Structure 1
């Protein structure tokens, strides 16, 4: 693939101009085909140009960037979401391993995202990130349902209600899943997933353990104590984390 055919959709003229200038100056692998100010123009440009990449503002008048994607029968392009805020949107984007940029735009982050997408599109034109994201967005008033985990071989899409607990392993994290014997080893830190997974269900009980409270079957008292998970694994609760753990069960 020589160049990425791209369009951008943003209701703010200044934002469109800034991104267009950055792409022209710093991303030579991108060929910008259209600049659109609303969902309707964006849908028309996608149909006309069949882009490889869409830069999509999340918050727009009369709808969101997610609304645009849901109107498509098939998403066969990669998406970089652009947003100034919206905590739920950021969590959903992280859960799906989707690309996003925060306003005001950082040039280095833009270049890095474009380079990764350019390499990925050489290998495949599937957009699993967006498929997982849209599934999670449908449950906006609930916790997100799935998380995309990059592995050494590719990626795994895991329902979060199947995660029993996560275990720190240096700069990696082991995911222990229901009905799966061998844990998934993911090359991101436990802190990364602590910030990503829903705080109303996942509690850090130790520097090495992040648990899904739905799978706790027993707590044994002690200085910190320890929990027994549904898979019969016993995990230590550090004294420092004990109040947070007990609060999750309203036992403090």
Structure 2
């Protein structure tokens, strides 16, 4: 496979220089074609070069990296987001399974992101990460409404409001959806507990994370039980009971 043609957009000169040096030294499969300092330069470079890969700073003067992507008519490249802030954007990035690097950039994480993108390109895997991300960013109240779930066959884009509950299965998580088709995902339940909106999803047991919109009944007990809309009964652990009841106040 030919080298990945890359563009870098970052308003900080030191950051551009550091990432340029890292790419040259540790990512031989990447050829950096342009290092841009603002959104306008980035848009012009994308139009001229048609890159395979875009390294994009999120926080910039006069706009964000998301604003740049909104102005690209046809996103045919993969994007690695770069940010100094572990902030509101991180949840949306995680929900869309997008690639991102936190500053200061860790070399191993950079190499890992490039390797994954190169592998996708070699397998001709179409990426919808960015489109799902932009859809989520547009949502009101900064609450993402779709999640991208990597499966053994590829990935599934699932509306959050279709998730009834999530079930731990060792280091995997089984998603139980409204359409009745479960999805087994190779990430832990804790990973999704941290990712899914806490206004809707509550951990009621070490093995269960539920969408409170689908609770139809609670039965008292030491911890008690909840009955979900799909007639599944789930145990509430005594330790998690206060957190569960708080969600319904």
> Which TM-score band applies after superposition, normalised by the shorter structure?
over 0.9
User: Is the 1:77–1:126 contact (alpha carbons within 8 Å) kept by the matching residues of 2?
Assistant: no
State the alpha-carbon separation in 1 of the partners of residues 40 and 125 from structure 2. Answer: 24
- Structure 1 gaps of 5+ residues are none
- Structure 2 gaps of 5+ residues are none
State the alpha-carbon separation in 1 of the partners of residues 60 and 122 from structure 2. Answer: 31
1:244 maps to 243
State the alpha-carbon separation in 2 of the partners of residues 198 and 74 from structure 1. Answer: 30
The answer to whether the aligner puts 1:53 opposite 2:56 as a matched pair is no
CA RMSD of aligned residues (A): 0.9
Shift of 1:199: 0.6
User: Is the 2:146–2:157 contact (alpha carbons within 8 Å) kept by the matching residues of 1?
Assistant: yes
2:8 maps to 8
- TM-score normalised by the chain length of structure 2: 0.98
2:106 maps to 106
Matches within 5 A, 1:152-171: 152-171=152-171
The answer to whether the aligner puts 1:97 opposite 2:97 as a matched pair is yes
Shift of 1:86: 4.6
Matches within 5 A, 1:1-252: 1-124=1-124, 126-180=126-180, 182-250=181-249
State the alpha-carbon separation in 1 of the partners of residues 22 and 141 from structure 2. Answer: 36
User: Is the 2:53–2:78 contact (alpha carbons within 8 Å) kept by the matching residues of 1?
Assistant: yes
Count of aligned positions: 249
- TM-score normalised by the chain length of structure 1: 0.97
State the alpha-carbon separation in 2 of the partners of residues 155 and 214 from structure 1. Answer: 25
Q: 1:70-128 CA deviation, whole Å, 9 max, x = no partner?
A: 00111000000001115220000000000000001000000000011011111226330
